[in-house]
Structure 1
Amino acid sequence: MEAVFDGHNDVLLRLWHTAKTGGDPIAEFKNGTAAGHIDVPRARRGGLVGGLCAIYIPSGDLVLREPDEKGHYVTPMAAPLERQSSLDIAIEFTSIALQLDRAGAWRLCRTTADIRQAMEDQVFAAVLHMEGCEAIDINLDALETFYAAGLRSLGPVWSRHNLFGHGVPFAYPMDPDTGPGLTQAGVALVKACDRLGILIDLAHITEQGFWDVAKASTKPLVASHSNAHALTPVARNLTDKQLDAIRERRGLVGLNYATTMLRPDGLENADTPLSDMVRHLDHLVERVGIDCVALGSDFDGATIPQGIADAAGNQNLVAALKAAGYGEQELTKICRENWLRILAEAWHEAG
């Protein structure tokens, strides 16, 4: 079984909803559930040894706009969020992460040595990520606090605008060049993350924001859960020009399992063949090289192919990649080692 370290999931969002409705999020993750995609039993069955777990502030009832007669759709952008309520929710997410760590359900990792030790101990290796920085203040005091709690990765924006920059909508077909990029506050945020050792994630930012981060940051460019725009032209996917920049900076792009970002028609449909995942991964490898491609499932945050279904199905993708000609060394890089290299560079461990 190939061990998989995954670049993006929303399991904390699911567990937060469980807590809000009177359930026990710690027991749900530790003992297993029929809900969602990730818990300890299913992770072990599928070889999922850890991943970046997102603090994400929900945007109400945002759902994909239904396609028109041509199959096209543009979902209106989510409204900006108020900071204080966002901070409250982010603290609640972080509390769940810390409780899981204390209960031994997972291990909250702050270094790649922590990740490797957790893998050896067969404990889920969780890295705290923030997807959209609505909880962070302009003075970045909260950034320091979340860093102390274990935050080691963040995306300045989700698919909505905030104090730090502009996000792309969920739309098909659409170019990712949909508006402005980083604000002045966003540039300061990126530089502070470089200083602290927090990875910057470009997964939801506009194309202009991508280039703004490339200019402001000295670190490799990383899009944790994005696919190839040349194959599925949704606004969330990366153009070949962006992929070329990732290659030049020895960055990383994580294959997103979301069917809207895999299918040629951009539809949310679980009846999506694994060949679409292989097709995107082939394109990414051809464009950025085998050392710069990994996995970023979006488990618990998206509709994924029924051939994967949940964390227990990860090895089905590994088998499909083997059948497509990927060797053991290539699979090791894609499944975990490329992520560990990038995290080491972002966290000031490498070089």
Structure 2
Amino acid sequence: MVDLHVHYPMHLLGGVEAPRDVARKMLRVTERDEGKIRAAVLNIAARLFNFRHWDGTWRVSVPLLQQGGVTVACSVLYRPFSEMDLDEPYGAPPESAYYDRLIELLDATERDVIARGHVVVKTADDLERAQRTGKIAFVHCIEGGFHLGATPEEVTRHVHELAARGVLYITLAHLFWRRVATNAPALPFLPDALYNLLFPQSGVPPLTDLGVAAVKACDASGIVVDLSHMREDAIDATFALLGDGAQVMASHAGYRFGSQHYNLDESTLARIKARDGVVGLILAQHQLNDGVRRTNTKRLTDTMDVIDRHIAAIGPDHVAIGSDLDGFIKPTMGGVESAADLAPLAAMLRARHPEAADRILEGNALRVIRRRFASAAG
């Protein structure tokens, strides 16, 4: 199985950026008059979003990935306290130092993966070597354009550096407006309307000069632009900049059956398909159930009923798995508590979709990944 969006590096952040410590650190913000409501919201998010219990453990590790049958892990680099910079007001522009922190996490991830005997993918040969030897292939991905730099020149230079380090895709938007790309609401405990009230983005450009630089640099370097988290105006602006041969994907999303703008509408799906892209299904109750059922799934069979709807709507040639495990998506879909649970999910998917299972679990994602590294070699 390929997991297109899994937060393996999160457990390497250590102390200050572990989810249980976010609430404590957010108290610094509540001491200021400005941002008290937002601080309270984020305090709740930190307490509830990831671990099953307050004293739980991470959902993603090498042993859990192996138990889950994951052979390719699209390993997402994300520094929470760069996005939620406690010394800056909401909507502050990115700082140059965020990129150095990102590279620090990238380096730590590579050291950890290599020490555990697995493969960091930087070339097509690395990917094939991992599959040939039965090792997990870890492919770097980045979530949040705020990591990339404080000026268009920095962003352009850094994106090309990241391409040389083997980065597969960059998710330009994320949870909050940081003056790169407008984002769709994605917090599980906030309806879209309330999110938009608390975290307004009215009157801002869908892509700033930083966002434009990032899209152009991705196009030039071969890095795939990930449309997940983007508001529709940012998606439109992105497609207007991309060349005909540029790849796009949505690494962790779903079909818009309901009202949530995080999920993808028919227009965006058509443009992804036209570029032979892929949509990884996020295994979050909040997003995947929207418009499909009113209550959370409890059993894996119920979860598969929901996944079946998304597969039918998106199409088996353009859908994959992008779990977002350890990405603060509590509650996860019923029957999926950790990466180990991806194995029974895969078995049930094979039973229900024998003709399409190989494409959904592996082939569609590998098509995009191999094309990315083929273009880098060229």
In structure 2, how many angstroms separate the alpha carbons of the residues matched to 1:295 and 1:168?
20
- 2:140 matched to which residue of 1? 128
- 2:241 matched to which residue of 1? 216
Deviations 1:314-338 (A, max 9, x none): 1221233234x301x4111111111
Cα 1:15/1:267, change in 2 over 3 Å:
farther
- 2:14 matched to which residue of 1? 17
Structure number with higher helix proportion: 2
AA in 1 matched with 2:183: G
Deviations 1:73-118 (A, max 9, x none): xxxx964464134223212211212212431443110234422321
**How much has 1:5 moved relative to structure 2?**
0.9
In structure 1, how many angstroms separate the alpha carbons of the residues matched to 2:90 and 2:184?
10
Which range moved further: 184-193 or 197-206? 184-193
AA in 2 matched with 1:248: A
**How much has 1:271 moved relative to structure 2?**
5.2
Give 1:51's match in structure 2, choosing from 73, 96, 105.
73
Give 1:312's match in structure 2, choosing from 340, 343, 347.
340
Gaps of at least 5 residues in structure 1 are 22-33, 63-76
CA contact (8 A) 2:74 2:141 kept: yes
Give 2:283's match in structure 1, choosing from 209, 232, 257.
257
Which range moved further: 47-56 or 232-241? 232-241
- 1:228 matched to which residue of 2? 255
In structure 2, how many angstroms separate the alpha carbons of the residues matched to 1:15 and 1:203?
24
**How much has 1:185 moved relative to structure 2?**
3.3
Cα 1:61/1:212, change in 2 over 3 Å:
closer
In structure 1, how many angstroms separate the alpha carbons of the residues matched to 2:214 and 2:76?
18
- 1:198 matched to which residue of 2? 223
In structure 1, how many angstroms separate the alpha carbons of the residues matched to 2:292 and 2:83?
20
- 1:97 matched to which residue of 2? 109
Q: Describe the SS at the equivalent of 2:4.
A: strand
Q: Describe the SS at the equivalent of 1:291.
A: coil
- 1:65 matched to which residue of 2? none
CA contact (8 A) 1:111 1:347 kept: yes
Give 2:368's match in structure 1, choosing from 330, 342, 347.
342
**How much has 1:256 moved relative to structure 2?**
0.4
- 2:23 matched to which residue of 1? none
CA contact (8 A) 1:172 1:233 kept: no
Cα 1:99/1:335, change in 2 over 3 Å:
same
2:172 equivalent to 1:172: no
2:174 equivalent to 1:158: yes
**How much has 1:35 moved relative to structure 2?**
1.9
Which range moved further: 36-45 or 107-116? 107-116
2:13 equivalent to 1:7: no
Gaps of at least 5 residues in structure 2 are 19-55
Cα 1:243/1:176, change in 2 over 3 Å:
farther
2:98 equivalent to 1:86: yes
Q: Describe the SS at the equivalent of 2:273.
A: helix
In structure 1, how many angstroms separate the alpha carbons of the residues matched to 2:210 and 2:230?
15
In structure 1, how many angstroms separate the alpha carbons of the residues matched to 2:13 and 2:293?
28
Pairwise CA RMSD: 3.3
CA contact (8 A) 1:155 1:200 kept: yes
**How much has 1:206 moved relative to structure 2?**
0.7
Cα 1:161/1:276, change in 2 over 3 Å:
farther
CA contact (8 A) 1:6 1:51 kept: yes
2:214 equivalent to 1:186: no
In structure 1, how many angstroms separate the alpha carbons of the residues matched to 2:122 and 2:289?
35
Cα 1:248/1:343, change in 2 over 3 Å:
same
In structure 2, how many angstroms separate the alpha carbons of the residues matched to 1:120 and 1:175?
49
**How much has 1:15 moved relative to structure 2?**
1.8
**How much has 1:189 moved relative to structure 2?**
1.7
Matched-pair identity in %: 25
AA in 2 matched with 1:208: D
Deviations 1:268-305 (A, max 9, x none): 99754435543454344334421111110001112212
Q: Describe the SS at the equivalent of 1:225.
A: strand
In structure 2, how many angstroms separate the alpha carbons of the residues matched to 1:174 and 1:226?
19
**How much has 1:229 moved relative to structure 2?**
1.7
In structure 1, how many angstroms separate the alpha carbons of the residues matched to 2:138 and 2:16?
19
Give 2:358's match in structure 1, choosing from 313, 324, 332.
332
* TM-score, reference length from structure 1: 0.79
- 2:50 matched to which residue of 1? none
